[in-house]
Every structure is written in structure tokens, then in C-alpha cells.
Amino acid sequence: MIVNAGGVKCGQGNFIIIGGPCSVESETQIADIAEKVKAGGADMLRGGAFKPRTSPYDFQGKKEEGMEWLLEAKKKTGLPVVTEITGVEHLPLYDDVDVIQVGARNMQNFELLTELGNTRKTILLKRGMANTLRELLSSAEYILAGGNDNIILCERGIRTFETETRNTLDLAAVPVLKHMTELPVIVDPSHGTGHSYLVEPMALAAAACGADGLMIEVHSDPARALSDGQQAVTPDKFTEIVAKVRRVRAAV
Ligand code: PEP
Ligand code: MN
């Protein structure tokens, strides 16, 4: 199945690369990264405005203002955008957003999934950190039940006993999901590992095992990022990863 992501095709041989910061931090930050990921070969821009953070004392996102800056960056670069939704009440703000992300923490927010099923927006549904693949598909079913089949699934790592990585990236999920469903499957090696040095090898592995795309966190100054800096790659590194990933895709 091919899903339309803001004019970009995802699935059945159409590989999509999404790059951008974990969070939209300022108008200039997102504009700068948007230009750089575009130059580096990204098909789509990411950036969180509504951020679900583990601690209430951590940066919570720039919310409405961040959404405006993200849409400005979309206008300037022409890149379609994906950004997370954390509550149904925010849905009216997503009219110009190309792909709405449901994060790991909301994978089983059934009310939210049902509402998104009533739209015809493309939904990027991330696997919950403690959810099975059947549960992921059951969540997708909530969206499908409303008649919306514009869904891209995303493996982003799960909780295991291993602590050297932030999550354990379950790459077997890719061929397993391909066996179970027609929906496209992408991989997020940033949250899947939690370390910038692991993003390239796992991105290449994802491309080799049949993923339909990647979502990679990119920051111009990772050390100063307001969220997830330790797993962000620089725009130069992103450019290098994109070139290598495209070579792997051409080879498999
Ligand atoms: C994100 O993409 O920034 C994010 C919060 O991801 P996840 O929901 O997978 O933790
Ligand atoms: Mn993040």
C-alpha cells in the first residue's frame, strides 16, 4: 500500500526520509534546520510543538507558537511537515500539517485514535514503548474503523532490560509487520537508540531490512537542544546518512 505524505509517497518501494529537530525551539532554529535537511536530501521535515515529556519540569514545547514556526519553515522550504498531536482538542491547529504523529505515549489513546480516524489526514502511528506489534495494529484499526487508511506505522524501540541504549530498536518488527499488514512501516533510529553515534548504523540496517522510510532527529547544535540532544545528529551527519541509506536502498 502507498500512503501519501504531503505529496510524497511512502510504501511499496517509495522510501521516505524525515529529518528535523525533536522540538521546534524558535523561528530561526526550525527555519535553519529545515533548509539544511532539505539540502541534505530529506523528503519531509519533523519538529514537535506539543511535546509529551516524562517530567513536567522539562521543556514542554512551544505549542501554538511552535506550530506557526514549523508551518513557516514548510512554506519557505516546500517540505511537507510531520508533528505530534497530544490531545484531540488541538486538532483544528493541524489543518496545514501534512502528517499527524501519534507518539509512543499516545498509541493507546483510543479517543484520540478514533477522532483521527474520522479525518482523512495521514497519521504516523508510533509503537508504544511497551506494546506488542498486535497491539500496534489494533491501534491502527481504531483509525481504520473511521474510514481513514492513510496510516504509516513507526518502530521506535521498546523497553527491555538493556540499558546501554535508551530503547531496544526492534528491527524484526519491520518484516513482521510487513507480514501482518499492508501499511507502510518506517523506523526511528533516534528514539530507538538514544545515542547519535547509533543513528547511522541502525538507519542503514532499517533500510536493508525493508523499512519504507526513516525518521531522524537533526539539530544544528545538539549540545544545546531543548530535548533529545544526545540522540540528535548534525545536519552534516544527516546528509552523510541520507546518501548512505539511498545506496543501501538501491542495493537491496
Ligand atoms: C518524538 O518523535 O519526538 C517522540 C516523542 O517520539 P516517541 O513518541 O517515539 O517517544
Ligand atoms: Mn524526541
Atom of ligand 1 at shortest range from CA of 127: 9
Confidence of residue 44 (pLDDT cuts 50, 70, 90): very high
Distance 117 CA to ligand 2 centre (A): 25
pTM for the structure as a whole: 0.98
How many percent of the chain have pLDDT more than 90? 100
Ligand nearest to the CA of 109: 1
> Is any atom of ligand 1 closer than 6 Å to the C-beta of 191?
yes
Q: Is 156 in the pocket of ligand 1 (CB under 6 A)?
A: yes
Domain ranges of the chain: 15-34+42-48+62-251
- The reported pLDDT for the residue numbered 212 is 98
219 lines ligand 1 (CB under 6 A): no
Which residue is closest in CA terms to ligand 1's atom 6? Answer: 103
Atom of ligand 1 nearest to the CA of 46: 2
> Which atom in ligand 1 lies closest to the alpha carbon of residue 48?
3
Is ligand 1 within 6 A of the CB of residue 46?
no
pLDDT band at residue 120 under the 50/70/90 scheme? very high
243: cell is 546518501
Hey, whose CA ends up nearest to atom 10 of ligand 1?
Answer: 104
Q: Candidates 54, 102, 190, 191: which one to mutate for ligand 1, based on the most atoms within 8 Å of Cβ?
A: 191
Q: What architecture does CATH give domain 15-34+42-48+62-251?
A: Alpha-Beta Barrel (3.20)
63: left (phi over 0), alpha (psi -120 to 50) or beta: left
Q: Is the ipTM of this complex over 0.95?
A: yes
Q: What is the mean pLDDT of residues 138-152?
A: 98
Residues 203-233 have pLDDT tens digits of 999 999 999 999 999 999 999 999 999 999 9
Helix (H, G, I), strand (E, B) or coil at 23: strand
Indicate which residue's Cα is closest to atom 5 of ligand 1.
103
**What is the tens place of the pLDDT at every residue in 9-43?**
999 999 999 999 999 999 999 999 999 999 999 99
- Is residue 70 a contact partner of residue 83, using CB atoms and an 8 Å limit? yes
Contact between 202 and 240 (Cβ < 8 Å): no
CA distances from 140 to 20, 95, 154, 189 (A): 25, 21, 11, 21
Distance of CA 98 to the CA centre of its chain: 12
Q: Work out the pLDDT band at 83, boundaries 50, 70, 90.
A: very high
